[in-house]
């Protein structure tokens, strides 16, 4: 289902023309209205009129998360503060949170893109959406909220927390769509189950999950347990919030990034050179229409690859792969690089384990160590010790064989690890 059929299926040539005219306008606006960008462009001897083609973007400066922190809270506004109608902030997952301002048109565009994302996921005006993303400074709750209203569907503004009550509401209000983080979806499933509510008996047909990395193995697990189609939504507060991109109903073919509003690049984080489709690197986004706080070549620190083949859904907007993780989350264990998502994939594929795990980083004699704690299934929890030990050894061998790292494995009781109401906290760093 298309929300903006003409724009979503715009021939790529026309899409590129639109991007170029918007990029020119962006450079002009930032050059004149944001001191930070004027200085950066002048340092590079780049004047707005030098921009002639889309590939000239390579000459434009990058914007780093640190630049937003340095200009906290309002230093990067391109409009007078009185034209800002809303403020949000990032969750602060990797440090001090960053602040972002929106103009009246920015919040309208956001609602439109979020509605477009919902429609791409198969949501229509007949649906009832149980929105368990947190409401507040975090963009998840309000972002989804206004998109649902824009689409004309029914919003249940639940927010995060109060999980037992949420389980009851799922039963009482009959939502057809669930929106939250993938880890919270699993938590909600467990709590509902304890209260005698089976997800499969509810009328939920689709879950729109994002705000944290999750693997395709995790997706399969969620779909099997919750009995719904689990689709991936991508966004970040600095660039807008949820709805920068969305996996379409065609299913698991990558996340469409709405290119009439965002220019997408994947770069090698070390050389900062652009990478071709298929190669994994850092996602870089330029906001083409944001008025209040536009960003040029924002380095998201999220790792993904471009998929440039046409999608069977008919949308012409490019796609990115599932996010592998954040560059900040990469673990280096005795010289070997590994992402939590790679460990997640292996754990979920192992019979007898649940998708609840924690990675504990420690240090022994100046060497980094990794311990993986993972909850076992109820079914094998009461097994004999020697069976559990055999399972531990098996996981250890798999991690060594497929990822090249030596990890300590600790199987723990079902439901013993902390559950999060928003983004899962999977890494515990005890290295001091």
User: Shortest approach of ligand ADP to residue 233 CB, angstroms?
Assistant: 6
179 interacts with, out of ligand ADP, Zn ion, none, CB within 5 to 8 A per kind: none
Nearer to Zn ion, 64 or 308 (CB): 308
326 binds ligand ADP (CB under 6 A): yes
User: Shortest approach of ligand ADP to residue 211 CB, angstroms?
Assistant: 5
User: Shortest approach of Zn ion to residue 245 CB, angstroms?
Assistant: 11
SS in 3 state form for the chain? CCCCHHHHCCCHHHHHHHHHHHHHHHHHHHHHHCHHHHHHHHHCCCCHHHCCCHHHHHHCCCECHHHHHHCCCCCCCCCCHHHEEEEEECCCCCCCCCEEEEEHHHHHHHHHHHHHHHHHCCCCCCCEEEECCCCCCCHHHHHHHHHHHHHCCEEEECCCCCHHHHHHHHHHHCCCEEEECHHHHHHHHHHHHHCCCCHHHCCCCEEEEECCCCCHHHHHHHHHHHCCEEEEEEEECCCCEEEEEEECCCCCCCEEECCCCEEEEEECCCCCCECCCCCCEEEEEEECCCCCCCCCCEEEEEEECEECCCCCCCCCCCEECCCCEEHHHCEEECCEEECHHHHHHHHHHCCCEEEEEEEEEEEECCEEEEEEEEEECHHHHCCCHHHHHHHHHHHHHHHHHHHCCCCEEEEECCCCCCCCCCCCCCEEECCC
Work out which of 101, 210, 243, 340 binds ligand ADP, going by CB under 6 A.
Answer: 210
Say how far apart CA 171 and CA 203 lie, in whole Å: 9
346 interacts with, out of Zn ion, ligand ADP, none, CB within 5 to 8 A per kind: none
Work out which of 67, 127, 212, 259 binds ligand ADP, going by CB under 6 A.
Answer: 212
Span of 39-47, 50-58, 91-99, 408-416 interacting with ligand ADP by CB under 6 A: 91-99
Between residue 228 and residue 247, which ones bind ligand ADP under the rule CB under 6 A? 232-237
Say how far apart CA 388 and CA 351 lie, in whole Å: 12
User: Shortest approach of Zn ion to residue 250 CB, angstroms?
Assistant: 5
Residues in contact with ligand ADP, shown as a per-residue x/- string from 131 to 150 under the rule CB under 6 A: -------xx-----------
Nearer to Zn ion, 205 or 252 (CB): 252
User: Shortest approach of Zn ion to residue 101 CB, angstroms?
Assistant: 32
Work out which of 19, 30, 63, 91 binds ligand ADP, going by CB under 6 A.
Answer: 91
Work out which of 112, 141, 175, 213 binds ligand ADP, going by CB under 6 A.
Answer: 213
311 interacts with, out of ligand ADP, Zn ion, none, CB within 5 to 8 A per kind: Zn ion
36 interacts with, out of Zn ion, ligand ADP, none, CB within 5 to 8 A per kind: none
Nearer to ligand ADP, 237 or 318 (CB): 237
Question: How many residues bind to Zn ion according to rule CB under 5 A?
Answer: 5
User: Shortest approach of ligand ADP to residue 199 CB, angstroms?
Assistant: 21
Nearer to ligand ADP, 266 or 391 (CB): 266
313 binds Zn ion (CB under 5 A): yes
User: How far, in Å, are 24, 265, 302, 381, 415 from residue 246 at the CA level?
Assistant: 26, 17, 15, 38, 31
Between residue 304 and residue 323, which ones bind ligand ADP under the rule CB under 6 A? 323
250 binds Zn ion (CB under 5 A): yes
Work out which of 30, 90, 131, 358 binds ligand ADP, going by CB under 6 A.
Answer: 90
Nearer to ligand ADP, 30 or 300 (CB): 300
User: How far, in Å, are 38, 48, 283, 420 from residue 44 at the CA level?
Assistant: 10, 12, 22, 44
User: Shortest approach of ligand ADP to residue 31 CB, angstroms?
Assistant: 26
Pairing label, strands 319-320, 306-307: antiparallel
356 binds ligand ADP (CB under 6 A): no
300 interacts with, out of Zn ion, ligand ADP, none, CB within 5 to 8 A per kind: ligand ADP
How distant is the alpha carbon of residue 283 from its chain centre? Answer: 12
Work out which of 5, 92, 152, 278 binds ligand ADP, going by CB under 6 A.
Answer: 92
Residues in contact with Zn ion, shown as a per-residue x/- string from 160 to 199 under the rule CB under 5 A: ----------------------------------------
Which residues does residue 325 pair with via DSSP β-bridges, in sequence order?
303
Residues 6+ away with beta carbon under 8 Å from 27: 41, 48, 51, 60, 296
121 binds Zn ion (CB under 5 A): no
List interacting residues with ligand ADP (CB under 6 A): 90-94, 97, 138-139, 210-213, 232-237, 300, 302, 323, 326
């Amino acid at each position: 289902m298309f929300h903006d059929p003409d724009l979503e299926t715009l021939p790529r040539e026309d899409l590129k023309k639109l991007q170029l005219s918007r990029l020119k306008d962006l450079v002009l606006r930032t050059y004149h209205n944001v001191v930070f960008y004027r200085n950066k462009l002048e340092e590079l001897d780049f004047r707005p009129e030098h921009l002639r083609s889309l590939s000239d973007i390579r000459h434009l400066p990058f914007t780093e998360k640190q630049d937003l922190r340095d200009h906290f809270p309002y230093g990067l506004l391109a409009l007078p503060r009185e034209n800002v109608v809303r403020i949000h902030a990032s969750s602060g997952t990797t440090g001090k949170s960053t602040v972002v301002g929106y103009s009246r048109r920015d919040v309208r565009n956001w609602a439109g893109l979020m509605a477009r994302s919902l429609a791409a996921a198969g949501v229509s005006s007949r649906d009832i959406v149980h929105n368990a993303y947190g409401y507040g400074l975090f963009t998840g709750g309000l972002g989804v909220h206004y998109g649902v209203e824009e689409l004309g569907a029914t919003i249940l503004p639940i927010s995060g927390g109060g999980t037992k009550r949420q389980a009851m509401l799922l039963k009482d209000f009959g939502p057809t769509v669930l929106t939250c983080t993938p880890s919270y979806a699993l938590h909600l499933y467990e709590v509902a189950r304890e209260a005698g509510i089976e997800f499969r008996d509810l009328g939920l047909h689709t879950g729109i999950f994002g705000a944290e990395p999750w693997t395709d193995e995790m997706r399969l697990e969620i779909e099997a347990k919750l009995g719904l189609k689990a689709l991936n939504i991508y966004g970040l507060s600095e660039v807008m919030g949820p709805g920068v991109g969305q996996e379409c109903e065609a299913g698991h073919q990558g996340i469409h990034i709405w290119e009439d509003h965002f220019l997408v690049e994947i770069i090698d984080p070390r050389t900062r050179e652009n990478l071709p489709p298929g190669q994994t690197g850092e996602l870089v986004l330029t906001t083409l229409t944001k008025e209040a706080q536009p960003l040029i070549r924002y380095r998201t620190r999220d790792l993904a690859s471009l998929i440039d083949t046409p999608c069977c859904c008919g949308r012409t907007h490019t796609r990115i792969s599932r996010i592998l993780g954040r560059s900040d989350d990469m673990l280096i264990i005795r010289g070997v690089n590994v992402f939590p998502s790679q460990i997640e994939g292996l754990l979920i594929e192992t019979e007898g384990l649940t998708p609840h795990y924690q990675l504990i980083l420690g240090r022994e004699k100046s060497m980094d160590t990794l311990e993986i704690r993972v909850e076992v299934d109820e079914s094998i929890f009461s097994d004999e010790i020697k069976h559990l030990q055999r399972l531990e050894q098996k996981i250890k061998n798999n991690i060594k064989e497929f990822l090249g790292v030596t990890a300590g494995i600790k199987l723990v009781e079902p439901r013993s690890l902390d559950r999060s109401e928003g983004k899962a906290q999977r890494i515990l760093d005890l290295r001091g």
